[in-house]
Amino acid sequence: MAESKQAVTTSEGARVFLDPYMDWVKKQGVPVHLDFGHDLLALETGDWAHYEARGCFAHTHGRGDFCANYVLEISPAKKTKPVKHVHEAFFFVLAGFGSTTVWLPNGEKNTFEWGPKALFAIPLNCEYQIFNTSGRETARLSCTNDLPLALNHYHNEDFIFANPFKFPERIGEPSRFKGEGEHSAFDRLKGAGQINVWDTNFVPDLTSFKLYDLNTRGKGSRNVFFQLADGTMHSHTSEIPVGRYKKAHRHAAGTHVHAVSGQGYSLLWYDGDSEFVELPWRHGIMYTPPFWMFHQHFNTCDEPARYLACSIGSARYPFISLRRVSNEGGGSTSVKQGGRQIEYEDQDPRIHRKFLEALKASGASSLMGDVFDEEAIMRIPAEDLTGVIQTPQLKGPAV
């Protein structure tokens, strides 16, 4: 499905409702996919002159105003042309092996190698080139970026893609292109736990990267924030333990959630809905929860499940008020206390029943008997589990 955002000309000839980002997208001549979420490994791509590779846009209904996503596909033993841009870009490797060369503001270049499930950021306006180092396998990467914000603000393509200005402060130490970095931690407000931040440009493997306990999001939940290339965009990786799931919460639009490992599903709903939106959970799936829509992640396999989330507003530069409140703990605080999280005891009874049925189908076991009377839940007649989804004492977007 293609997005329909067009300029409108009034009877007086005034041009209004312009969208420079979507105008640029249309000029690229590659497929534009629009849905609630996508299997990025399966999306159709087309020849993309901008990169001299193949690609497509993976737009979502919940992408919001600031961020978007595209898929870049590089044939075996091929490379992109060098490009640069005054917008931030986070690359998550979906498949394949390769390397990236980044030309630094001082004229030096830095090259690093990557494989599946690596994450890297291009420092602002640094020229870079991406290589597929395999002679047999295609490389496919997901790029979450803030080009909508940049292009719609400046509405000048040369300013974004042919700007000579340099940002040396964005580079960091050369070792940060090799997977090294700096760890820091800070305590959130309202007893919402500690946030751990890893400051780097490159994460070689999200499946093995060290995470830290964040039990306020659910027992056994682990997490780390990434501060990539001193950027204003945010990313974090979280892990859902075997036999468990995370608590539901909600936030601003534009958080691109990539399933990295494990199997399961996510549920999404607005307060007052009678049904859930359900999306599968497996590597390659990406979706963005729309603004203020509750969402909840479930692990139904026999190994921990990890995901990557990328959005606007980092720990260092929150940028928007909702990100600042999330960093302070609003996303891990109960709605009863003015936060944005639904505690297990307050959630719709259908949610845990559905989880138990999914585990039974997969052959895995629940470890949440410490929270729920699971035998009693399974005895509830199915007809008694219908109804409108309601949550207690909900606050508005100000939190």
Looking at every residue in the chain, the average pLDDT score rounds to 92
Q: Verify that 256 and 328 share a domain, yes or no.
A: yes
Q: How high is the pLDDT of residue 6? A: 52
Whether residue 75 lies inside any domain: the answer is yes
Whether residue 78 lies inside any domain: the answer is yes
Q: Verify that 336 and 198 share a domain, yes or no.
A: yes
Domain interval for residue 257: 179-344
Confidence band of 293 (pLDDT split at 50, 70, 90): very high
- DSSP for 3-39 reads -----EE-TT--EES--HHHHHHHHT-S-EEEESEEE
CA distances 212 to 227, 231, 237, 247, Å, are 15, 22, 10, 17
Q: Verify that 334 and 187 share a domain, yes or no.
A: yes
* Strand bridging mode 233-240 / 305-312: antiparallel
Q: Verify that 46 and 142 share a domain, yes or no.
A: yes
Number of domains within the chain: 2
Whether residue 382 lies inside any domain: the answer is no
Whether residue 95 lies inside any domain: the answer is yes
Whether residue 36 lies inside any domain: the answer is yes
- Residues 47-67: what's their mean pLDDT? 97
Q: What is the tens place of the pLDDT at every residue in 321-336?
A: 988 888 888 888 899 9
**278: which 2 tokens?**
């359900």
Q: Verify that 161 and 188 share a domain, yes or no.
A: no
Q: Verify that 140 and 220 share a domain, yes or no.
A: no
User: Is the per-residue pLDDT at 304 higher than 70?
Assistant: yes
List 1's β-bridge partners, or say none.
none
**51: which 2 tokens?**
């990169």
Question: Residues 17, 21, 25, 27: is their CA dihedral positive or negative?
Answer: positive
63 or 387, which is more confident?
A: 63
**Structural Rg of the chain based on CA atoms:** 21
Whether residue 389 lies inside any domain: the answer is no
Whether residue 397 lies inside any domain: the answer is no
Question: Residues 114, 118, 123, 125: is their CA dihedral positive or negative?
Answer: positive
Q: Verify that 130 and 18 share a domain, yes or no.
A: yes
Whether residue 28 lies inside any domain: the answer is yes
Burial 316-338 (b: 16+ CB within 10 A, else e): bebbbebbebbbbbbbbbbbebe
Q: What is the tens place of the pLDDT at every residue in 196-231?
A: 999 999 999 999 999 999 999 999 999 999 999 999
Give the distance from CA 208 to its chain's centroid.
Answer: 18
Q: Verify that 280 and 330 share a domain, yes or no.
A: yes
Neighbours of 13 (CB within 10 A): 6
Give the distance from CA 371 to its chain's centroid.
Answer: 29
Cα–Cα distance, 222 to 393 (Å, whole number): 28
User: Is the per-residue pLDDT at 9 higher than 60?
Assistant: no
* Strand bridging mode 305-312 / 256-259: antiparallel
Q: Domain boundary residue among 103, 133, 165?
A: 165
Q: How high is the pLDDT of residue 3? A: 61
Q: How high is the pLDDT of residue 163? A: 98
Confidence band of 394 (pLDDT split at 50, 70, 90): very low
26 or 379, which is more confident?
A: 26
- The CATH number assigned to the domain holding 89 equals 2.60.120.10
Q: Verify that 205 and 322 share a domain, yes or no.
A: yes
CA distances 142 to 43, 91, 93, 139, 322, Å, are 11, 6, 6, 10, 25
User: Is the per-residue pLDDT at 4 higher than 60?
Assistant: no
186 or 359, which is more confident?
A: 359
CA distances 57 to 25, 29, 193, 328, Å, are 8, 10, 36, 33
Q: Which residue has the tokens 């270049």?
A: 109
Cβ partners under 8 Å of residue 10, min gap 6: 16
Cα–Cα distance, 14 to 361 (Å, whole number): 59
Q: Verify that 284 and 242 share a domain, yes or no.
A: yes
25 phi and psi, to 5 degrees? -55, -45
Q: Verify that 85 and 143 share a domain, yes or no.
A: yes
Cα–Cα distance, 137 to 288 (Å, whole number): 29
Q: Verify that 152 and 257 share a domain, yes or no.
A: no
